[in-house]
A and B are shown apart, each in its own frame.
Chain A
Amino acid sequence: MAEVKHNIKLPKESLEKTTQTINLGPTHPATHGVFQNILEIDGEKIIQATPTVGYIHRAFEKIAERKPLYQVTPLTDRLNYCSAPINNIGWHLTVEKFVGIDIPARAQYLRVIIMELARISDHLICNSILGVDSGAFTGFLYIFQYRELIYEIYEEICGSRLTTNIGRIGGFERDFSETAWTKINKFLDEYPRVLKEFEDLFNRNRIFIERTQGVGGISAERALAYGFTGPNLRAAGVDYDVRIQKPYCRYQEFDFKVPVGTTGDCYDRYLVRNEEMWQSISLIKQAIQKIGELKGEEATKYHADAPDFYLPLKKDVYTKMEALIYHFKIIMGEVDIPAGELYNAVEGANGELGYYFISDGGRSAYRLHFRRPCFIYYQAYPELVEGSMLSDAILTMSSLNLIAGELDA
C-alpha cells in the first residue's frame, strides 16, 4: 500500500482532534475508471491526497515485444479507448516514418477526418460526465446520442464501434463507401445544433459556474513542471499543440485555432474542450473540401505502395502469385524491419501521446514505450486538490479526463 501520513497536526481553530482517513475508490461511481485515492480529511476539507494506480495494469509494453507490428494496433486501441482511432493512426504513423513509407494525400485527409471525429467523441464524454458529476444528467443523455452517430461512422468504415483497429500500416483497408460519406455529412449537419444546445445548458449556468470556477486550478509554471500537455495545459495558458509544433498528416495545410485558457481550473478546461470540438468540426469540413479538390490518380489512392506491410487485396491473393507470397509473408510475420529507434508523438485527446519504438532488426519491437499523457499529469492531482472540499476533488478528477486504460497501460 502507499505510504500515508496519519494524525497530521491540525491548526488550532479546527474542531476535530485528528484527521479522518477515507478511501475514494477503486470502485466508486464518480471515478471514471479504477483509481484509488487515500484522502486525509478534516471535516470536509482535504488535507492530503495519496493516489494509487495500477488496478488495470495489462502489461502492454511487454506484449508489444512479442507481436509483429500490425498486431500492436489492437493493443493501442485499448490505451485511450474513448478515442481509439487517434491511438491507432499514431502507431501507424510511427511505423511508416520508421520504415519510410509515403502516404498519398487522400489517405492523409481521410485520417484527419477520422482523428477529429475521435477527438470530438472523447471531449463529448468528458464534458457530459463533468455535467453528470455536478448533478446535471440531462446533458449526458442528449449528447450521448451523437456518440452513437460517430459509432455508426466507424462501423461503416472498419466494422467495429469502440475499439476500432482502424486503418493499416500504409493507409486504409478500403475506401470510404457512399454510406460512410452520407453518415459523416449527416453528423456534420446535426451535431453543431446539439453542441450549441449543450453550451446553452452549461456555459452560463449559475450552478455549474459556482461548482467549477476556481476549483482545481494550476498555474502555467507548475503545469509545465509536472509535464502537462493537451487541453489541461492549454487551459493553464500555454498553447502547446503537437499538431502545430510537429505537424503530421498534412495538418500544416489546415486553418484552425488553438483555444487557450487563463487560470487552469475546471471551468477553463471545460471551455477549452468545448471550443476544441468546434475547431474539430471545422477541420473535418476543410478535409472534405480538400479531398474534393484532389485530381487524377491522387483522388483515388487510399493506401501507399508498401507490399511488405500492406496486405494485398483478396481478389489479387486468389489470382496473382506475387500477392499470395506477400500475404503469406506478412501474416506469418516474416517481414524484417531495419534496426534503429524513433520517438513519434501525436496530439491525442488528452495530450501528447508518444510512441518510443526501438527495433533490433527482428520481426517485432525490441522495446516499445508509450508516453501516456494521463499517467504523467495524474501526479499533479494531490497538488490540485489539497485544501479544497471533498466534492471539488470529484469534479477535479473528472475534468482532468483520466482514462484508466491509458493511465495503467
Chain B
Amino acid sequence: MQLSKVIGLARKNSIWPLPFATSCCGIEFMATMGSTYDLSRFGSERLAFTPRQCDLLMVMGTISKKMAPVLRQVYIQMAEPRWVVAVGACASSGGIFDTYSVLQGIDQVIPVDVYVPGCPPRPEGIIDGILRIQELVENESIRRRNSPEYQELLKSYGIS
C-alpha cells in the first residue's frame, strides 16, 4: 500500500469547501446542502467561510468585473493544496450575460479544475462536480504542487 494512496483516500473524503455564492447558483447550493441532496455525506460537512482553512473554492454565480479582484484575493489567500470548481454557466463562461460588466468565465483570473454547466445546475450536477474533484484529489501526486508545470500555470495567471 503506497503512502500516496492513503493520503489520497484521506484527502478526498474530507474536503472542506468554501462556498463563494454570489447569485442564483448559491440558492441551488443551499438546496444541495439540505437533506434531500445531502452534500455532507461526501465528507464536506464543515463549510468554512474563511479561505485559510478550506480546500475547495466553489464559485457559484456570476462574477462581475467589480468582483474579480476580490475573487483573486480569496484564491491567493488559500493554502496549498487547493482546488477550484466553477459551478454554473456564469462562473464557467459568463453564461447568458455577454455584457460589458460581467467577467466571461472565472478562468480569466484563477485556474479552474472542474466546470459544472447549468443555469442553475441541478443539485445532482453539483454533486457530480464534487465527485470529479474527489477523483482528482485521490489521484493527485503529492509532489504536484511543487512541480515546475504547476508553477508555470500559476505564473501564467500572475500568481506567484
Binding site for B on A (CB under 8 A): 26-29, 33-34, 54-59, 62-63, 74-75, 78, 81-82, 125, 141, 144-145, 147-148, 151, 161-163, 404-405
Contact = CB atoms under 8 A, between A and B. Distances in A.
A34 B67 contact: yes
Given A55-B66, A57-B101, A163 B34 contact: no
A141 B36 CA distance: 10
A144 B38 CA distance: 12
Nearest to A30: B49
Contacts of A78: 23-24
Contacts of A144: 30-31, 34-35
A58 to B, nearest CB: 5
Contact of A58 (B36, B64, B70, B120): B64
Contact of B23 (A26, A29, A33, A147): A33
A148 B64 contact: no
Contact of B49 (A26, A29, A58): A29
26 contacts: A27-B70, A33-B22, A33-B26, A34-B67, A55-B22, A55-B64, A55-B67, A56-B22, A56-B23, A56-B62, A58-B62, A58-B99, A59-B97, A59-B100, A81-B23, A145-B36, A147-B31, A147-B34, A148-B36, A161-B28, A161-B31, A161-B120, A162-B27, A163-B24, A163-B120, A404-B22
Nearest to A121: B27
Nearest to A403: B23
A403 to B, nearest CB: 9
Given A148-B36, A151-B31, 13 more contacts: A26-B67, A55-B64, A58-B97, A58-B101, A62-B99, A78-B24, A81-B27, A125-B27, A141-B34, A144-B31, A161-B28, A162-B24, A163-B119
Given A26-B70, A59-B102, A144-B31, A161 B36 contact: no
Nearest to A59: B99
Contacts of A163: 24, 119-120
B99 A81 contact: no
Chain B's interface size range is: 20 to 34
Contacts of B34: 141, 144-145, 147-148
Contacts of B20: 27
A54 B66 contact: yes
A103 B71 CA distance: 47
A28 B21 CA distance: 10
B11 interface: no
A405 B100 CA distance: 17
B74 interface: yes
B96 interface: yes
Interface string B146-160: 000000000000000
A53 to B, nearest CB: 10
B61 interface: yes
B122 interface: yes
B35 A145 contact: yes
Contacts of A82: 27
Nearest to B49: A29
**Secondary structure call for the B interface:** loop
A82 B30 CA distance: 12
A81 B119 CA distance: 12
Nearest to B19: A29
A11 B143 CA distance: 58
Nearest to A151: B31
A55 B23 CA distance: 11
Nearest to A36: B70
Given A27-B74, A58-B97, A162 B120 contact: yes
Contacts of B24: 78, 81, 162-163, 405
A165 to B, nearest CB: 10
A125 B30 CA distance: 10
A404 B96 CA distance: 17
Contacts of A81: 23-24, 27
A161 B120 CA distance: 9
A29 to B, nearest CB: 4
Contacts of A62: 99-100
Interface string B53-84: 00000000110101100100010000000000
A166 B107 CA distance: 32
Contacts of B70: 26-27, 55
B23 A405 contact: yes
A78 to B, nearest CB: 6
A26 B26 CA distance: 15
Contacts of B31: 144, 147-148, 151, 161
A140 to B, nearest CB: 9
Interface centre among A57, A82, A147 (most CB of B within 10 A): A57
Nearest to B67: A55
A54 B62 CA distance: 12
A29 B50 CA distance: 9
A161 to B, nearest CB: 7
A187 B20 CA distance: 32
Contacts of A141: 34-35
A144 B23 CA distance: 18
A404 B23 CA distance: 7
Nearest to A147: B31
A163 B23 CA distance: 11
